Structure 1
Amino acid sequence: MKFYRTNIDLRLTVILFIFGLVYASISLVNHFLFRTYGWDLGLYNNALYDYSRFQWNNEILLLPYLKISNSLGDHFSLTTVFISPLVWIFGSYTMLIFQIASILWGGYGIYRYVEYISGEKKTARWATVHFLSMWGIYSALAFDYHDNVVAAMFVPWFMLYVFRKKYLLSSLFLLLILTAKENMALWTIFICIGLITILYKEKRTLIYLMAATIFSGLYFIVVSKFVIPSLSGSDNDYIHFRYNVLGSSMKEALFFFFQHPVQSFTILFENHTGNPAFYGIKSELHFLVLLSGGIALFYKPQFLLMLIPIYFQKMFHNDPGKWGIFLQYSVEFAPILTIAVFYSITKAANKALKNYLMYATVACSLLGAIYLLDHKREFNYPPEQARFYQKQHYQTNYNIDSIYSAMKLIPPDAKVSAHSMLVPHLAIRDVIYYFPYIGDAEYVMALPSSGNYYPLNKNEFLFKLDSLQKDISWQTIYVDSSAILIKKR
């Protein structure tokens, strides 16, 4: 079972190294400068701590807004469980480092897949550049860690081993995709269906893909319908179904698609909230998909099949922030678009045309990334979180040294309520709350001048802090222009 080769492609190594530096300059710098957040990186870091100590995580960071007895009852992801021992090496940076490594591993998977179907290392290298330049990757890296990013990076490997008829290895990567996040099972159903339409003439592969499709479907039903509700500690259905335009449940959504096919199709392009602030978000996504190689989806619609659940989970959602190109909600486009466009390019008979298409596609992918990085919508993260090429990305108004000094005053086993940007750094402990919820916390720490007061407004946030400072049961033990640390007497 070999995932690597002894004959190293030096040019590929340089490509991976350069992109690794770029990714680290986005993700790791953001974390160091307190641009990562309680929701979501803080949740993952606290889960890492619990799993590394062989105990379940109860997502107390969601209190008082949501009470879950087991974090697997929120999203069923085993990735955090698998890598939890690494927290004792990399600390609060663990998930971010793992995410970067996963993306580079996905890039290597693209290289191996394209080399296999084309027989050309040069084409495979350019495919890797195309993939690692994709805007969906940069938008995900700019905001914390997410399981679907890791899952998407296993897709090229799954497809490679299906094509090579290495079914044991393809099954391993299928399981890694499925266990990364429960909704990935819907995606693998359509990936398998798309592969069936390509490889249907190969009997053993056809049987394997049909079995993988059925297994993915059963996995999704069992996990979303039974496992997650039972672990969440409630009798509720799957808590992440937020598609009011389709109905109140997955069953109603399925009926809606069949009863209103035309309306379902138009929602893929229309702002179904009616709020003018959200016009153009879906069009922007479609434009970048086409720019980054989406035209190949018309030439090889088998790959468009693979993106059906990605389009639907984005475009029908209640939250307009999920429709567009920002955050982690578009990373699944990256492997499919790269594979689709280079699968199409390898079919070109004319070598000159093949090279022209290859270079043009890579250039368009880079243009898409530039557009994303230089573009901003008000309801997404601040632009300095993504623009690694600007000085502002490496600067902050905080006194970084003083904040880290203040955090050292908190004992490692203390119960803490912390401001969102501090939570990921302080979550490697048993009890951590998301301020303004205090619970039984012994320490409260905040950055009053941060400008980020979610879920409160500024006045509510500062009033809450001021009340604690005036409360005789609390003592302010550290305060400066950047941070305040309050201790229970």
Structure 2
Amino acid sequence: MRGARTPLLPSPGGAPGAAAGAFPGRVPAGLLPWAWAAGLFLVYATVAVRRHQLLRTTGYDLGIFEQAVRAYAHFQAPVVPLRGDGFNLLGDHFHPLLAVLAPLYRLWPSPLCLLLAQSALLALAVVPLARWAARDLGRGAAHAVAAGYGLSWGIASAAAFDFHEVALAVPLLSCGVAALGRRRWRAAVAWTAPLLLIKEDLGLTLAAVGVYVALKGPRRLGLLTAAAGLLGSLVEIEVLLPYFNPGGGYAHGGNLADGHGSLLSTLAHAPLDALRPDIKAMTLVLVFAPSALLALRSPLALITVPTLGWRMMSENGFHWGTAFHYSAVLMPVVTAGLIDSLRGWRGTERGARHIRASLATVLAVTLVMLPSFPLAQLFQRATWRTTPHIEAARAVLAKIPDGATVAASNRLVPQLTSRCQVVVFPTFPVEGRLYEYDRDRLPRPTAEWIVHDEQAPEAWPYTTGHWPYPIEQQLAELAAARTKYGYRLVARRDGVTLLRRAAPGGRGA
């Protein structure tokens, strides 16, 4: 009975023996996953677009990725001024597959193009998972699985924070793990092989897929896949990233610095280091919470190990928690583990009760966690209110002509990147300027225009432990632009200041 395909969770009016491919009196089962994808896309897109309209998107990271895709759209290398003069973004993370978005951006050059593309990619990942659940567990289970994935905190956090390259990996991983669950080994490898072109650490995830294939399916295919994943990540980290990085080396190597003096000591401390501080243990639990921890019963859960491993061993505190996009690639794997763990209960009434109870728990956990994560913004009054400050910022930004060079506050950068050449102002913190500054040695601005917002809707990156950039220093650099470097005041409204560099021979205000 383990291989039976009869759904045990029929919808009302559907006979228990109905084929999984059609449901009498209902929308054909083949449309169910796509209906979920369409609904989730609308949810994600609404949150993402509204955040951008409220000036909550950032130069770090939406502006950075827009500059890269904009370069690809004009058949140029992804040089990103926001990361530094002549900085090729392939020297930061290795993600050449971003170029697939270039045709869309060429048709619609806007940050909204990237935000909507990300929303679509995250939503499409539900299709193979819901299809697999409908085939093996029934229509009701497919709805529960789709809700568990689509409303999971890992996907919500990614959908509501700018744009990131890992959005490309989420549907590929979803298709890949669904293929693994259905023992379609070659298809699984084909779907996950492009991970090598999305981010350098995802080669390790491809290697984990290969190990799973070697254990459960064709050993030779699995071992070749594992070797390709490991070798791919190694080449990218040791050769390609240093080649493209203007400073040489791997830009993020410091995140995995040896904290115990030797490799042996580091390995010995690794189990405890992966759980300290407490936020790491909490995140490990929360990663599997959308499956009510049932995914841990499936060997598919092992595919999460590479991503969780580098995150928990990182020295960057942002990697330890639940914010931002870092958990998005884990959610398809966790959802697949949930489906896989429940398949063994098919075939008996007792098993059917267990499946129903498990999925009810999944839905309960999803609903309990929903208010604590970004999709809850849809129900907050502030999300639908355009403040006078936002209107003032838009009016000031409208004074900047297309094609200008602009130094802008982090939250204003993505409002300009589609039509101007933009860098961050004040200068993004660099070594030696993280915790203090010298009023007499402030950097000389080089952009034609400067636009600064004293009232950023969110503090990052100015006041967190990682990127302290106090408002006093921002204002000092703004004042120096006028008094020392010849910029004149063009407009000032509600804390948003616009300066323009005086023409040669002109006078600063």
- Deviations, residues 172-224 of structure 1 (Å, cap 9, x unaligned): 42233221111111122113323433x23xx3xx3322221111111111111
Q: 1:247 to 1:76 in 2, by over 3 A?
A: farther
1:358 and 2:356 equivalent?
A: no
Deviation (angstroms), 1:122: 3.3
Deviation (angstroms), 1:291: 2.9
1:322 and 2:340 equivalent?
A: no
- Deviations, residues 55-95 of structure 1 (Å, cap 9, x unaligned): 113322123xxx66411011111232121222241511122
Do the aligned residues in 1 keep the contact of 2:67 with 2:79 (CA within 8 Å)?
no
Deviation (angstroms), 1:162: 4.6
Please list every run of 5 or more consecutive structure 2 residues that lacks an aligned counterpart in the other structure. 1-21, 428-443, 463-467, 503-509
Deviation (angstroms), 1:297: 4.2
Deviation (angstroms), 1:246: 4.8
Give the SS at the match of 1:476. strand
Q: 1:152 to 1:472 in 2, by over 3 A?
A: closer
Q: 1:247 to 1:147 in 2, by over 3 A?
A: farther
Which of 338, 343, 346 matches 1:341?
Answer: 338
- Residue identity in the other structure for 1:130: G
Give the SS at the match of 2:451. strand
Do the aligned residues in 1 keep the contact of 2:209 with 2:225 (CA within 8 Å)?
no
Do the aligned residues in 2 keep the contact of 1:426 with 1:432 (CA within 8 Å)?
yes
Deviation (angstroms), 1:37: 0.7
Between 136-145 and 27-36, report the one with greater CA deviation.
136-145
CA RMSD of aligned residues (A): 2.8
Q: 1:30 to 1:86 in 2, by over 3 A?
A: same
**1:40-79 equivalences in 2 (<5 Å):** 40-63=61-84, 69-79=87-97
Do the aligned residues in 2 keep the contact of 1:246 with 1:316 (CA within 8 Å)?
no
Partner of 1:159: 177
Give the SS at the match of 1:399. helix
Do the aligned residues in 1 keep the contact of 2:152 with 2:366 (CA within 8 Å)?
yes
Give the SS at the match of 2:234. helix
Deviation (angstroms), 1:298: 4.0
Deviation (angstroms), 1:159: 2.7
Alpha-carbon distance in structure 1 between the residues aligned to 2:120 and 2:224: 30
Deviation (angstroms), 1:131: 0.6
**1:296-307 equivalences in 2 (<5 Å):** 296-300=294-298, 302-307=299-304
1:133 and 2:147 equivalent?
A: no
Partner of 1:209: 222
**1:110-189 equivalences in 2 (<5 Å):** 110-116=129-135, 118=136, 120-162=138-180, 169-189=187-207
1:270 and 2:276 equivalent?
A: yes
1:82 and 2:100 equivalent?
A: yes
1:107 and 2:126 equivalent?
A: yes
Deviation (angstroms), 1:29: 0.6
Do the aligned residues in 2 keep the contact of 1:225 with 1:238 (CA within 8 Å)?
no
Do the aligned residues in 2 keep the contact of 1:229 with 1:237 (CA within 8 Å)?
yes
Alpha-carbon distance in structure 1 between the residues aligned to 2:288 and 2:78: 41
- Residue identity in the other structure for 1:357: S
Alpha-carbon distance in structure 1 between the residues aligned to 2:420 and 2:400: 13
Do the aligned residues in 2 keep the contact of 1:291 with 1:368 (CA within 8 Å)?
no
Alpha-carbon distance in structure 2 between the residues aligned to 1:238 and 1:87: 27
Alpha-carbon distance in structure 1 between the residues aligned to 2:41 and 2:469: 36
Q: TM-score, normalised by structure 2?
A: 0.80
Alpha-carbon distance in structure 1 between the residues aligned to 2:305 and 2:376: 28
Alpha-carbon distance in structure 2 between the residues aligned to 1:50 and 1:265: 43
1:420 and 2:417 equivalent?
A: no
Give the count of matched residue pairs. 449
Give the SS at the match of 1:463. helix
Q: 1:417 to 1:472 in 2, by over 3 A?
A: closer
- Residue identity in the other structure for 1:404: R
Which of 3, 15, 20 matches 2:41?
Answer: 20
1:232 and 2:222 equivalent?
A: no
Which of 390, 397, 401 matches 2:380?
Answer: 390
Alpha-carbon distance in structure 1 between the residues aligned to 2:408 and 2:396: 12
Give the SS at the match of 1:416. strand
Partner of 1:376: none
Do the aligned residues in 2 keep the contact of 1:158 with 1:173 (CA within 8 Å)?
yes
Do the aligned residues in 1 keep the contact of 2:129 with 2:146 (CA within 8 Å)?
yes
Partner of 1:310: 307
Deviation (angstroms), 1:17: 3.4
- Residue identity in the other structure for 1:465: L
Deviation (angstroms), 1:430: 6.5
RCO higher in structure (CA 8 A, sep ≥6): 1
Do the aligned residues in 1 keep the contact of 2:245 with 2:251 (CA within 8 Å)?
no
- Residue identity in the other structure for 1:293: S
Deviation (angstroms), 1:120: 2.9
Partner of 1:404: 394
Partner of 2:234: 221
Which of 439, 444, 453 matches 1:447?
Answer: 453
Alpha-carbon distance in structure 2 between the residues aligned to 1:430 and 1:314: 35
- Deviations, residues 82-135 of structure 1 (Å, cap 9, x unaligned): 21222241511122111100011111121233345x163432232111111111
